[in-house]
Amino acid sequence: MSQRVVLITGALTGIGRAAALGFARAGHAVVISGRHEETGEALAAELRDLGAEAAFIRADVRREAEVAGLVDQVVARFGRLDAAINNAGTEGRPGPVTEQDAESYAATFDTNVLGTLLSMKHELRVMLARGSGSIVNISSTYGHDGAGGASVYSASKHAVEGLTRSAAIEVAATGVRVNAVAPGPTDTGMLDRFTGTAERKAGLTAGVPMRRVGEPGEIANAILFLASDQASFTTGQVLSVDGGKSAA
Ligand SMILES: NC(=O)c1ccc[n+]([C@@H]2O[C@H](COP(=O)([O-])OP(=O)(O)OC[C@H]3O[C@@H](n4cnc5c(N)ncnc54)[C@H](OP(=O)(O)O)[C@@H]3O)[C@@H](O)[C@H]2O)c1
């Protein structure tokens, strides 16, 4: 097929879902991945209603066999992989450093860091063989700033930025690009779980220079740009989409 094919992990909610809708509207074939069969099939049907070719493939990004199988199934079904959005992520168990332990570390790092690493490994296997492709990882404002009360999450997103830059350098001469988008507070289930109360959400919003949180579609727009040929000379970059938070 000549249509561009995009794979999105953690695609069933929030930013991933908005990106899936955006790629479908832009004429891509969209493979959405996640852990919930029913929600996944429903979103795939919604994408097909927009005129896109779409498929749901179940995978937990912490498991290498599932990630390898996911990428293999994309290629078997669609024949190519042009863009991959490594969006699956978790806020883990927020709280002060003194309350963290090996379990809370693994609950965050296994998805955010190992998941991104395994996803890139298998996506690159396909993209390098073809000599083209674009990977967009999802970091966070906390991926380059400290975050009291969210140290492990912040550390995991720092790791995502390190992985992004390192992988980008490794493959830069091959025609494959690797970038990241770093959202500020964005109106998704994760933000609601992370803040817990309306007061804490309002407090976080007050710290954004634009005085509002982002909409998932606003993050998706930046993801679409980095994935596209419009960003053909851009690699190893982290694009902040955060209402001015990282400029403050
Ligand atoms: N919202 C924000 O304010 C914000 C700010 C900065 C960065 N981000 C980042 O943006 C990305 C998307 O988050 P979101 O805000 O859209 O929240 P979200 O709605 O909770 O989306 C996260 C998605 O990742 C999936 N996921 C979690 N663990 C997974 C695993 N092991 N394997 C496969 N899928 C898994 C979740 O599905 P399950 O239901 O299966 O858990 C969920 O669909 C994340 O990487 C997040 O860290 C968000």
Separation of CA 87 and ligand 1 centre (Å): 6
- Lining residues, ligand 1, CB within 6 Å: 9-10, 12-16, 34-36, 60-62, 87-90, 111, 115, 138, 140, 183, 185-186, 188-191
Superfamily of domain 5-247: NAD(P)-binding Rossmann-like Domain (3.40.50.720)
* Nearest alpha carbon, ligand 1 atom 39: 35
Across the range 83-105, mean pLDDT stands at 97
Separation of CA 206 and ligand 1 centre (Å): 23
pLDDT at 1: 61
Whether the CB-CB separation of 221 and 227 falls below 8 Å is answered with no
Question: Of ligand 1's atoms, which has the minimum distance to the CA of residue 11?
Answer: 43
Across the range 74-82, mean pLDDT stands at 97
Whether the CB-CB separation of 154 and 145 falls below 8 Å is answered with yes
Give the start-to-end residue ranges of the domains of the chain: 5-247
Mean pLDDT of the chain: 97
* Nearest alpha carbon, ligand 1 atom 14: 14
Question: Is 153 one of the catalytic residues?
Answer: yes
- Check whether 108 has a pLDDT greater than 80: yes
pLDDT tens for residues 147-170? 889 999 999 999 999 999 999 999
Q: How many CA atoms lie within 13 A of 196 on its CB side?
A: 6
Instruction: pLDDT band for 79, please (50, 70, 90 cuts).
Output: very high
pLDDT at 33: 98
Q: What is the DSSP string of 105-128?
A: HHHHHIIIIIHHHHHHHHHHHHHH
What's the one-letter identity of residue 39? T
Question: Of ligand 1's atoms, which has the minimum distance to the CA of residue 110?
Answer: 31
Tell me how far apart the alpha carbons of residues 2 and 172 are, in angstroms, rounded to a whole number.
24
